[in-house]
Structure 1
Amino acid sequence: MLSTDYLIIGSGALGMAFADQLLTETDADMVIVDRHHMPGGHWNDAYPFVRLHQPSAFYGVGSRALGSSRLDVAGFNKGYYELASGAQIISYYDRLMNERFLPSGRVQYFPLCDYQGDNRFVSRLSGDIQEATFRKKLVDATFLNTQVPSTHVPSFELCDGVKLVTPNVLPKLAPDFRSYVILGGGKTAMDVAVWLLQMGASPESIRWIVPRDSWLRNRDKVQPGATFFKRTAGSQADQLEAAAEATSVADLFERLERTGQFLRIDTTVTPTMYRGATISCLEVEALRRIKDVVRKGRVLRIERRTVILEHGAIESCSGSLYVDCTAKAFRTQPSVRVFDGDRITIQMLRPGALCLGAAVIGHIEAAYDDETIKNELCMPMQTPNAPADFARLALGDLQAGRRWSADKTLHRWVVEHRLTGAGIGQADVSVHDPDADQIRKRLREARPKAEANLSRIIAELATDSLQ
């Protein structure tokens, strides 16, 4: 029987960020169990052309940078900080495990094992069962249950003679076809469409079945570091001022779009989906070249001659390759307490900043004793699905920021942490000029107004839902 301080389930991005923080701040030992053969979680299953949609500076663990903090000089991300590829991320976590975690002598790693509950896990190869008792905490780093197309079971029917694939095999099979049908309206579908266009497919060869259009964050507005401080902080001020003045969720998004915070692919369609995806203006321009866009709801059944959708049927594209991008990134379920007795459940603490949140939870576990205080500082947020969820997350982010700022030691730790974004906190301190000072003033003045107005909007949403 194994004995450890922390039994961590999952060696994906969240489990690794949490464990890395414990390695840095404590002398605790850990057992890490994961069903994949390598650390990195869902990145092991992702399609080969996948990349982060936010700068690499915001991803990984606190002790080691991901990438080289360079600006891309070509492609759809030109002029912005690099976006790590899936292969780079897997290599990053593999090296982290083998160069930092295991050599520490404080981490035992059990890949290709399924956790069965009751401190027991089973090898997926041998079937051998092991038990690990823990002296401090069981850490669940799998709560969000990230899904990717290759591990997703389609919810629609498929008739014989229709070729359906996930994006994982697209590079191998795409040359055998001359037309393509993309299923899904999320970021994966956008990645597939952009990749096909990059590889030389004509826009006319692509049909895109979009169940719901999505609001998208403009990558231009979320760049880290001193170089982009005025643009990023100014964008934050624009967002807070929009939140302070909006009369509704719809009005909020109109204001955010006018100031360039948010984008939509078709400006004649009002999006009903928001999942926090970030995209560049160049990618949006490329996607707008695809004109055969079908908006009749989700796919129910694909036949050789017909595609049956929620709101009608269309003629199928004979001989086309269908690409399934319908998997949801995260499962939607109620949040739970992060700290609950001898159990820690890692969840999102600030919108989109998943790795930072996991590192914060590790820091709070290491530095604080009182469970009530721990949970007050680690209020979990649900991942978004609809525009109204953005308003809820924006309010939760303001409240979390206020709680963290009240604790001066925690505030300083967060500002200085790598995952806050390649020195963006330091940039806030170091940039001194009238324009920067004016942005800081706008931020200070808008925060309380935005929090009050968002509270009002969300209360009205709750009232409307009861009527």
Structure 2
Amino acid sequence: MTDAPRAVDVVVIGGGQAGLAAGYHLRRAKADFVILDAQHEPGGAWRHAWPSLRLFSPAQYSSLPGRMMPSPPGGGYPSAADTVAYLSDYERRYALPVIRPTKVRAVRRSGARLQVETDAGTWRARIVISATGTWWRPYVPHYPGIGDFAGRQLHTAGYHGPETFHGKNVVIVGGGNSAAQILAELSAVAATTWVTSRPPRLLPDEVDGQALFDLATRRHQATLAGESATGIGNLGDIVAVPAVREARDRGALKAEPMFTRIIPEGVAWSDGTTLACDAIVWCTGFRPALGHLAPLRLRGADGLIPTDGTRALDEPRLHLLGYGDWSGPASATLIGAGRTAKAAVAEIMKQR
């Protein structure tokens, strides 16, 4: 790339599942676009997930538009590695114009266009699609004494498997799917204690990601129509993938109430009870990675960017994909990202 800014119709920031889904629809619309990805290889955040992680749906319900994800050997739920292979193949199959590694530093207004500043030069675009996801902003809540703990602390994003936890005493924090899957794995090799802010609830065994996506879509449509709808939370919080079912059946999914503080040797509750541990694994979620959009000054009081569908209310040249329900029903999932991207690109082509 030369030092002079390059002009393009659409810049997509992020080459993970949401960015590739956007690329598929932009390609079909014959748009002039590029995808800028900070990673060195395809696969998005899935490349950094722990090996035993499983999707919440079978492959046929975990696919991007145009190309079905192959079922893993033996069937069942695809792994993180299966997903990386699928996204890599998808990118090649549709010859998507991904430029990597390219780190986007800032997006700014520049007359009739948006200026995208990267570590490899500058782009000027009529439309910018931000699809950077959440993996790069792990969230750890603050508890008194968190800096005094003498053991090991790590977030889901830094968990790479059970090998270093054999024989240890481990506290796992969080009541979602990541916590349940990591607990299922670690409880086979370590003494584990699961702590949650509210009692965790497993979904019925027959409920997987397809059902969750359908529920999220109906809830979103009802909200737009000013109606009430049954939420996912009324069913439960955790998908019972096979490893979680196995842990449940051997009694490993018993959860304790959330501790109130951390002490050098472990954790403590308000009644004075303490528990010594070697490690704390924070399965406490992520926040949207939106730092590159800071110059646009679009965030609301909740830290999110107000949108109409995927389009930013205060900057109609910006669309956001793949950050969760606020940027489209179940848009942080593979199937949800594809459907949201289709609607976003249709609107973008009308903005010409």
Any idea what the Cα deviations from partners look like across 1:58-79, whole Å, max 9, x if unmatched?
A: 334212222227774xxxxxxx
How far off its partner does 1:100 sit? 2.7
Separation in 2, partners of 1:182, 1:8 = 36
C-alpha distance in 1, partners of 2:148/2:271?
18
Q: Which residue of 1 aligns with 2:124?
A: 133
1, 8, 13: which is aligned to 2:12?
Answer: 8
TM-score (norm 2): 0.70
How far the C-alpha of 1:83 sits from its partner, in A, is 1.7
1:88 correspondence with 2:46: no
What percentage of residue pairs aligned between the two structures are identical?
A: 19
* Deviation (angstroms), 1:132: 0.8
Question: What is the match of residue 101 of structure 1?
Answer: 95
Q: Which amino acid aligns with 2:118?
A: V
Pair 1:294 & 2:256 matched: yes
Structure 2 counterpart of 1:146, one-letter code: T
Residues 1:326 and 2:284 are matched in the alignment: yes
The aligned runs of 1:289-438 (5 Å cut-off) are: 289-290=251-252, 293-295=255-257, 297=258, 300-304=261-265, 306-309=266-269, 311-318=270-277, 320-328=278-286, 333=304, 335-337=306-308, 338-339=310-311, 341-346=316-321, 348=325, 349-351=328-330, 354-364=333-343, 367=346
Task: Measure the CA separation in 1 of the matches of 2:253 and 2:122.
Answer: 56
Of 4, 21, 29, which aligns to 2:25? Answer: 21
Aligned residue among 118, 121, 124 for 2:117? 121
**What is the CA-CA distance between 1:2 and the residue it aligns to?**
1.9
Change (3 A) 1:88 1:71: closer
Whichever of the two has the greater Rg, that structure is 1
Q: CA RMSD in A?
A: 3.9
The equivalent residue for 1:164 is 153
Pairwise CA distance, 1:8: 0.5
**Taking structure 1 as reference, are residues 190 and 364 closer, same or farther at Cα in structure 2, changes over 3 Å only?**
closer
Q: Report Cα offsets for 1:150-178 as digits up to 9, x if no partner.
A: x4556341425313344524433022x24
Asked if structure 1 preserves the Cα contact closer than 8 Å seen for 2:140 and 2:155, the reply is: no
How far apart are the structure 2 equivalents of 1:291 and 1:350?
29
Give 5+ residue unaligned stretches, structure 2: 109-114, 223-227, 290-301
* Partner SS, residue 42 of structure 1: helix
Tell me the alpha carbon deviations over residues 100-155 of structure 1, each in whole angstroms, 9 at most, x when there is no partner.
324xxxx24132413311223333xxxxx411112x4111123xx42379x45563
Displacement after TM superposition at 1:335 (Å): 4.2
- Are the counterparts in 1 of residues 18 and 334 from structure 2 also a CA contact under 8 Å? yes
Partner of 1:382: none
Q: Report if the CA contact (8 A) 2:321-2:340 is conserved.
A: yes
How far, CA to CA, are the matches of 1:336 and 1:343 in structure 2?
A: 10
Q: 2:55 & 2:13 partners in 1: Cα distance?
A: 23
**Are residues 56 and 115 of structure 1, via their aligned partners in 2, closer, same or farther at CA, if it must alter by over 3 Å?**
farther
Q: Normalising by structure 1, report the TM-score.
A: 0.55
Q: Could you give the per-residue CA deviations for residues 313-349 of structure 1, whole angstroms, max 9, x where no partner exists?
A: 432225x333222234768736412235322222543
The verdict on how the C-alpha distance between 1:192 and 1:216 changes in structure 2, with shifts beyond 3 A counting, is: same
> 1:437 matched to which residue of 2?
none
Question: Relative to 1, partners in 2 of residues 1:7 and 1:155: Cα closer, same or farther, differing over 3 Å?
Answer: same
Task: Judge conservation of contact 1:51–1:83 (CA < 8 Å) in 2.
Answer: yes
Question: Separation in 2 of the partners of 1:188 and 1:49?
Answer: 11
Q: Residue in 1 aligned with 2:196?
A: 210
- Give the deviation of 1:189 after TM superposition: 1.2
Higher helix share: 1
- Relative to structure 1, the CA distance from residue 137 to residue 298 in structure 2 (aligned partners, 3 Å threshold; closer, same or farther) is farther
Q: Give the 5 Å matches for 1:187-206.
A: 187-197=177-187, 200-201=188-189, 205-206=191-192
Structure 1 residues 30 and 299: CA distance shift in structure 2, 3 A: farther
In 1, Cα distance between the equivalents of 2:318 and 2:283?
Answer: 34
Distance 1:96 1:193, change over 3 A: same
Change (3 A) 1:140 1:282: closer
Shift of 1:7: 0.3
Tell me how far 1:5 sits from its aligned partner. 1.9
Distance 1:194 1:208 in 2: 10
Partner of 2:33: 30
Quote the Cα distance in structure 2 between the aligned partners of 1:303 and 1:84: 39
Decide whether the 8 Å contact of 1:9 with 1:115 is kept in 2: no
What is the number of equivalent residue pairs in this alignment? 305
Q: Alpha-carbon deviations, 1:384-412, whole Å to 9, x = none?
A: xxxxxxxxxxxxxxxxxxxxxxxxxxxxx
- 1:53 corresponds to 2:56: yes
Counterpart secondary structure, 1:218: coil
| Shift of residue 355, structure 1, vs aligned partner | 3.6
Q: In 2 relative to 1, CA 302–32 (structure 1 residues): closer, same or farther, beyond 3 Å?
A: farther
